[in-house]
Amino acid sequence: MKFRLTPLNIITSMGFVGLALSYYQTKPAQIDISPLYRIILVSMIGVSIVTDFIFRFLFKELKRIWLVELVFISLTIILFLLLQK
């Protein structure tokens, strides 16, 4: 299978980097994440991996995958911001 870079891959890798930084920090006040937020971050990584596989299965063309995943990420961010208020 050929590797195709998609927006959800980028979000997943950023989540892995954030999780690794929270575990392997050198200074105590650099990144302070509670265990609940770590669990939420791990579940976000899992959801983004599963969603990426679903979009890859449904859409074969890379340009269409990028468009659909960017719309999905945008809607997710908008809903997240609306639910915070």
Reported as a single tens digit per residue, the pLDDT across 43-75 is: 999 999 999 999 999 988 889 999 999 999 999
Closest CA to 75 of 33, 1, 83, 53: 83
Confidence of residue 1 (pLDDT cuts 50, 70, 90): low
**Angstrom distance (rounded) from CA 23 to CA 10:** 20
Give the angle subtended at the CA of 61 by the CAs of 10 and 75, to the nearest 5°.
50
Kindly report the pTM of this predicted structure. Answer: 0.78
Question: What single-letter DSSP state applies at residue 5?
Answer: -
* Contact criterion met (CB below 8 Å) for 74 and 30: no
Higher per-residue confidence, 71 vs 85 = 71
Mean pLDDT, range 33-52, rounded to an integer: 88
Reported as type and span, the H/E element at residue 29 is none
